[in-house]
Amino acid sequence: MKIMKKLLLVLAMTFMTGLVFSQKSPGKLTPMSGITLTKDQRAKINEVNKNVVKQIEAIKADSNLSKREKFEKTREVREGQEESIKKLLTPEQYAKRQENIEKIKTQKEN
């Protein structure tokens, strides 16, 4: 019986830890803040983002590229990411994303 209680306690703690770490800070603004996505949009955007991470990791690992070349290639990948996301969002959703990005830039400047 004691083992069962300990197991349940461990499972509950694991679940709660996952919940805490899966949530973003409530006041933190992200480019996607306030945008409700469909399951399909969410899945496709996650795929785009995963591909971008892989591409950037490959760029960083390429020792044949100079710092400037890595910067340029990374910028190109990010621009492609933005175009892909733009295609997946409605005009209203994309406008909200752009608004959020501008607010984030303003916050960083201050």
Q: Distance between CA 22 and CA 12 in Å, rounded? A: 15
Give residue-wise pLDDT tens across range 36-71: 999 999 999 999 999 999 999 999 999 999 999 999
Tens of pLDDT, residues 1-25: 666 565 555 555 555 554 444 444 5
Say if 4 falls within a structural domain.
no
Which pLDDT score, from 0 to 100, does residue 22 have?
43
What pLDDT score was predicted for residue 52?
A: 96
Whether 93 maps to a domain, the answer reads: yes
User: Range of 51's domain?
Assistant: 27-109
Q: Is residue 67 part of a domain?
A: yes
CA 50, 93, 21, 18 torsion: positive or negative?
Answer: negative
- Structural domains of the chain, count: 1
The secondary structure of 15-79 as a DSSP string is HHHHHHHHSPPTT---TTTT----HHHHHHHHHHHHHHHHHHHHHHH-TTS-HHHHHHHHHHHHH
Q: Is the pTM of this model over 0.75?
A: no
